[in-house]
Structure formats: structure tokens, C-alpha cells
Amino acid sequence: MKKILLFVMGFAGVWIGTTPLMYAQDDLLSMLGTDSSEMKKEPVTATFKTTRIVNFPSVVNTAAGVLDIKIGHRFGFVNSGIGELFGLDQSTVRLGAEYGVTDAFMLGFGRSTFEKTLDGYFKWKIFKQTRGKGGSPLTVSLFGSTALKTQKTNNSDREDLFVNNLFYTGQLILGSKITEELSLQLSPTIVHRNLTARPSEKNDVLGIGAGGRIKLTKRLSLNGEYMYVLPDQISSEFKNSFSVGFDIETGGHVFQLHFTNSTAMIEKGYIAETVGDWAEGDIHFGFNISRVFNLKKK
Amino acid sequence: MKLTIISKKTNLWLATAMMLLMATALYGQSATAVKYFTRNASASFFSEAPLEKIEASTTSASSVIDMATGNVEVAVLIKSFNFKKALMQEHFNENYLESTKFPKAVFKGRMPEFKSINLTIDGKHTAVLKGDITIHGITKPLETKVLIRSEGGKIFAETEFELIVADFNISIPSVVRDNIAKMVKVKLKAEFMELKKT
């Protein structure tokens, strides 16, 4: 508990120091007095390059009328040796799509090859970070997802009921673009499993995630994310998810290249079922490709 | 110190005279200076590359014309430009114009033949506008023709010019070379009102 507190405090500390923007006055134009458009609060844009940091939902939403096609790919563990070409022989894929209903509300769905899982979700930007006079330092979003495992469970003891394969995730995302280069976010999360793999595991799993990015150039950023799962909820074989990677942006595409110990690309998977251990070299190399299409002209 | 020789009385008298002089000078200036202003001029730009047309506009540009000196100033907030595609707008602000660092585009210049233009009478004029334009922290000279029409105390002005993207230290990555043109056509259109001093 102490760890989390320190963590949160450190995080809050970084937030202080967001400087308000100042505008220089021009000679003739200064006669117009303070320009009302300059005083206006401006919502902060592009806190992250895309709607995901690596696996975590970011505070960024797809804009209204924009369709974002997502292809997520994870190779096998890099420590699997030359026989498996260091993991490149294996792959897990998630195909997904996201759509901005409004600038603040988006819907998404996807299908993962891992346990043949379908997932549907929404992200609602409740509160926007703004700059200017009276600006606020935080963006607050609510994320909710439902996942359905469609792979048959080979368990003769139990009937494979539909409801047993449902998983839910609720997440609050608190994010801030602290400077042009640095963005951070915290995501308190709850995952509910209708049926756990073992009776010893909790149905509800609480965790707190932290993620961020550092912009290295205008079109390249270094991303990282870590999910701390509160103790005594899941079996000890499961590890906390940790990923680092790069975002490379080229016009309408964002390519994300990363290393992660999580195989799954959906919440219930990377939060509660990550088996990879960074210390053991159980690391996946992977990538996400995001391509946006404007379905509706503004 | 020689100043101490002057008595307190003379000192006060001198100060009063100076203030009066300054006041009359200021008064004289504001009486002859006719200034016009706008806060909602429209500014737009257009570029056409083999793969993509880029278009954006705003209606919140501000400008002041001083007919006593012929000086003209225009300022546009970069963030106020509206694009059809949200991602284009984001990239424009984030990657190209860096609007957080350089929030405004500013023009400061002069109409050399301003004396031959009388805006108090209805009529149409064509004037040359010469000055410097600052975009993305880079200042470049600019000369453009402005159509001015005065009608019932209002001044309508319109101009069009081309800018070279590279001039303003805005680099276009090779992957989007066919999406973004090297030349951008800019249009400004404004309705000015007389600036009355309070």
C-alpha cells in the first residue's frame, strides 16, 4: 500500500509546474486590448499519438466520424531460442476497429486469436484538460469493456455455460499532457471474471496502471506502461504487465513497436493473465498498427 | 548638482508645462489618426499535392489599419484553423506549425501609397501592402495587393498571396511528400470598423 502511495505522490508532483501560456502584445494590435480568443481555454490535444499506449487505453479518443483500424501482433517469447527464431515463429493477433461517435465518446471492438476472444468497449472523455486562463490540468476518461471467450473449455467437470466466458473491465483514466514532450496517466482498474480458472482466485481483480510517453522527435515517442495488481487476488504465477515501446507516426498511420511480457492485448488478459516474467526473458516483441479513415466530413 | 539651483516652484511649473505639452501632443495624434480594426477576419489556406488537398480556415483573425501612418497589422491564432480532417488538424498543430510554441502568425507592414486613399468616402481602391510575415518563429518579407472597399463607414479588404512552406522552417517528411504541397495559397478577407478611443 505504501508503494502505491509513494507512486501516486510522485506522479502528482510532476503535474505541478504546468505553466500557463503567455502571449506577447503587438503594437497596433495591442489597441484592441486583450484578444478574447487568446484568453479562451483551449482543450489540450494529442496527449498520446493514438488511443492505446501499448495495451492500455490512453486518454486519447478517436475524433468524431473517424474509424481507426487496429492490427495488434505479438510474437512468441524472445527467450524461446533459435529453434523458434527467438519467438518470431509464433504469433498472437488482435484485429480491431474503433469509431468516434462524438469527439468525447468512442466505441470499439476486436477479436483476439488468444483464446478466440471477442471484446467490445467504450471510452468516454468526461473531462478535458485545458490550457489558458482557468485551464484544468487533467483529462478524465471512463473506459468499460466486455470480453467473451469463445474457445471451448475442455473441462468435463463443469458445463461450459455462456456466462462463464464473460469478462468485464471498468477503468478510470486520469491523464495529463504535462509538457509538449511528456504525457502521463494513471488508470485505476477493476476486472470482473464471471468464472475464474481456479477457486483460489478472486472474481474481481483490482489494479492500478501507470503509463506515459516521452516525445523524442515530432513523429517518434517512447512509451511505457505498468499495471500494478493488488496482492492476493490472482494466482502467483501471474505477473504484472509491463511494456515499453515506440510510436512512429507517418501521416494517417501510427506504428507501435514494443516489448511486453503480456500475450493478450485486452484488459482481462494483460491485467489478470500475464504469465511472462521480464527477469526470465519472457518478453514478446510486438507491434500495433493504427490506420484512420474519415467516414464523416466535419 | 546644478538642478538643485532651480527652486521648487519653478520645478512644479516646468512639470505642469511638460504634462500639458504631452497631453496636447497625444490629443492631436488621436484626433487625426483614423484607425480601423477587426477581430473576426477570415483567413484560409489551400494547398494541392498529388495525393491530398489541404484546406483550413478561421474567422478569428484580428487586424488594425492606421490610416495616419499607413501601418497595417494582422494576427491569426494558429490553433483557430479548422480542418475537415481532425487528424490533419492535429498534425498541423503538433508537427508542422507547433502552435504551442508559436501560437500566432503575425503580419506587420505598411501601405506605401496610403496618402492617396481616403477611406472616409465610399469607393474602391487597390493598394500594395509591404511588410514582414512571421510564422513558426520565422520572419519573411511579404508584398501583396489588397483590394479595399469603403462603404458607409465600413472598410472591406481582401488579399491573396502564396507562401513557400520551407521558408518557414517547416519540414515535410519524405513519406508524406506527395500529400503536402510545397506552396500554400493564403486568402484573407476582413470587414473593418472604425476604432474609437474611449
In angstroms, the separation between the Cα of residue A171 and the nearest Cα of chain B is 26
List the single residue in A218, A292, A294 with the smallest CB-CB distance to B95: A218
Asked if the model's pLDDT at residue B29 lies above 50, the reply is no
Distance from CA of residue A283 to its chain's centroid? 19
Least confident of A77-86, B27-36, B76-85, B109-118: B27-36
The angle subtended at Cα A62 by Cα A58 and Cα A66, nearest 5°, is: 160
Q: What is the pLDDT of residue A298?
A: 59
Q: Which of A37, A102, A131 to mutate to test the interface with B (most CBs of B within 10 A)?
A: A37
Provide the 10 A C-beta neighbour count for residue A103. Answer: 16
Question: Rounded distance, CA B193 to CA B34, Å?
Answer: 10
Inter-chain touch B64–A35, beta carbons under 8 Å? no
Residue A242, C-alpha cell as written in the block? 509491463
What is the structure's pLDDT at B51?
86
Residues of B in contact with A41 (CB under 8 A): none
User: Is residue A19 scored above 50 in pLDDT?
Assistant: no
Where residue A111 sits, what CATH number does that domain have? 2.40.160.40
User: Does any CB of chain A come closer than 8 Å to the CB of residue B172?
Assistant: no
With cut-offs at 50, 70 and 90, classify the pLDDT of residue B153.
confident
DSSP A52: B
Most confident region among A22-31, A167-176, A232-241, B34-43 by mean pLDDT: A167-176
Say if residues A154 and A160 touch (Cβ distance below 8 Å): no
Provide mean pLDDT across the span B77-88.
92
Nearest-by-Cβ selection for B64 from A32, A63, A219? A32
Nearby residues of A283 by Cβ (< 8 Å), 6 or more positions away: A77, A78, A79, A259, A260, A261, A276
Do residues A247 and A49 make contact, with C-beta atoms less than 8 angstroms apart? yes
What residue has cell string 484546406?
B55
Q: Which residues, including other chains, have CB under 8 Å from residue B131's CB and lie 6 or more apart?
A: B72, B107, B108, B109, B110, B141, B142, B143
Whether B84 and A46 lie within 8 Å, measured CB to CB: no
- The nearest alpha carbon in chain B to A45 belongs to B90
Of B37, B80, B94, the CB nearest to A46: B94
DSSP state, residue A57: B
Residue located via cell numbers 504525457: A183
Cβ neighbours of B78 (radius 10 Å)? 21
- pLDDT surpassing 90 at residue A63: yes
Interatomic CA distance for residues A234 and A190, integer angstroms: 13
Angle at A131 between CA A125 and CA A134, to 5 degrees: 100
**A31: Cα within 13 Å, side-chain hemisphere:** 22
A84 pLDDT exceeds 50?
Answer: yes
What nine digits make up the cell of B105?
502568425
Asked if the Cβ–Cβ distance from B91 to A251 is below 8 Å, we say: yes
Q: Contacts of residue A180 in chain B, CB cutoff 8 Å? A: 98, 100-101
Amino acid at site B116: S
Which candidate, A170, A236, A228, places its Cα nearest to that of A200? A236
pLDDT over 80 at B14, yes or no:
no
Q: Which residue has the higher pLDDT, A41 or A228?
A: A228
What's the pTM?
A: 0.80
Q: What is the pLDDT of residue A16?
A: 41
Average pLDDT, chain A: 88
Q: Domain span at residue A11?
A: 2-294
pLDDT digits (tens, 9 = 90+) for B83-125: 998 899 999 999 999 998 999 999 999 999 888 888 888 999 9
Confidence of residue B8 (pLDDT cuts 50, 70, 90): low
Mutation pick from B54, B87, B133 vs chain A, by most beta carbons of A within 10 Å, is B87
A251 vs B66, B100, B175: nearest CB: B175
For residues A98-123, give the mean pLDDT. Answer: 96
Under an 8 A CB cutoff, do B73 and A294 touch? no
Nearest-by-Cβ selection for A298 from B39, B84, B94? B84
Cα separation, A119 vs A117, whole angstroms: 7
Question: Shortest CA distance to A270 belongs to which of A140, A141, A124, A169?
Answer: A169
B179 at the A interface (CB within 8 A)?
yes
Residues from chain B that touch A298, judged by Cβ atoms under 8 A, are: 82-86
What percent of chain A clears pLDDT 90, i.e. is strictly above it? Answer: 70
What is the rounded average pLDDT of the residues A165-176? 97
Average pLDDT estimate for A157-165 = 84
At residue B175, the pLDDT reads 82
Question: A27-41, A284-298, B163-177, B178-192: lowest mean pLDDT where?
Answer: A27-41
Closest CA to A259 of A222, A287, A221: A287
pLDDT mean over A11-39 = 53
Closest-CA residue of chain A to B110:
A28
pLDDT for the residue numbered A124: 98
Closest residue on chain B to A44 (Cα): B100
The yes-or-no verdict on residue B132 having pLDDT over 70 is: yes
pLDDT, mean of residues A114-135? 93
Q: Which residues have C-beta within 8 Å of that of residue A60, sequence separation ≥ 6?
A: A46, A47, A48, A49, A50, A51
Q: What single-letter amino acid sits at A258?
A: H
Residue A294: CA atoms inside 13 Å, Cβ hemisphere, count? 11
In angstroms, the CA B84 to CA A184 distance is 29
Cβ <8 Å between B87 and A250: no
Give pLDDT, residue A161.
85
**Strand ranges for A61-128 from DSSP E:** 66-77, 91-100, 105-112, 117-127
Residues of A whose CB is below 8 A from B103:
21, 23, 38
Q: Choose the mutation target among B36, B85, B197, B198 for the interface with A, i.e. most A CBs under 10 Å.
A: B85
Write out pLDDT tens, residues A133-155.
888 999 999 999 999 999 887 77
Domain count, chain A: 1
B5 CB-near residues (< 8 Å, 6+ apart):
none
Query: Considering only CB atoms, which chain A residues are within 8 Å of B39?
Result: 32, 35-37
B196 near A CB under 8 A? no
Average pLDDT of the residues in A220-246 = 95
- Binning pLDDT at 50, 70 and 90, where does residue A98 land? very high
Mutate to test the interface with A, among B94, B176, B180, B198 (most CBs of A within 10 A): B94
- For residue A86, give the 3-state DSSP assignment: coil
Here the cell at position B22 is 504631452
- Inspect the interface and report whether the beta carbons of B37 and A23 lie closer than 8 Å: no
CB < 8 Å to A251, chain B: 91, 175-176, 179
Query: Which of A153-162, B33-42, B52-61, B124-133 is predicted least confidently?
Result: A153-162
Neighbours of A231 (CB within 10 A): 9
pLDDT at position B15, please? 65
* Element holding A205 (H helix, E strand): strand A204-217
Written as nine digits, the cell of A134 is: 482557468
Q: Are B27 and B194 in contact (CB under 8 A)?
A: no
CA–CA separation, A156 and A160 (whole Å): 9
Angle at A248 between CA A244 and CA A250, to 5 degrees: 165
Let me know if A87 is exposed, middle or buried by CB neighbors in 10 A (0-12, 13-18, 19+): buried
Minimum distance, in Å, between the CA of residue B74 and any CA atom of chain A: 8
Q: What is the arithmetic mean of pLDDT over A160-172?
A: 93
User: Confidence class of residue A31 from pLDDT cuts 50, 70 and 90?
Assistant: confident
Q: What's the rounded Cα separation, in Å, for the pair A19 and A29? A: 25
B108 touching A, CB under 8 A?
yes
- Distance between CA atoms of residues A9 and A235, nearest Å: 29
What pLDDT, on the 0 to 100 scale, is given for residue A24?
Answer: 37
B19-32 mean pLDDT:
50
**Taking Cα atoms as reference points, which of B110, B95, B108 lies closest to residue B165?**
B95
Q: For residue A32, what pLDDT is reported?
A: 80
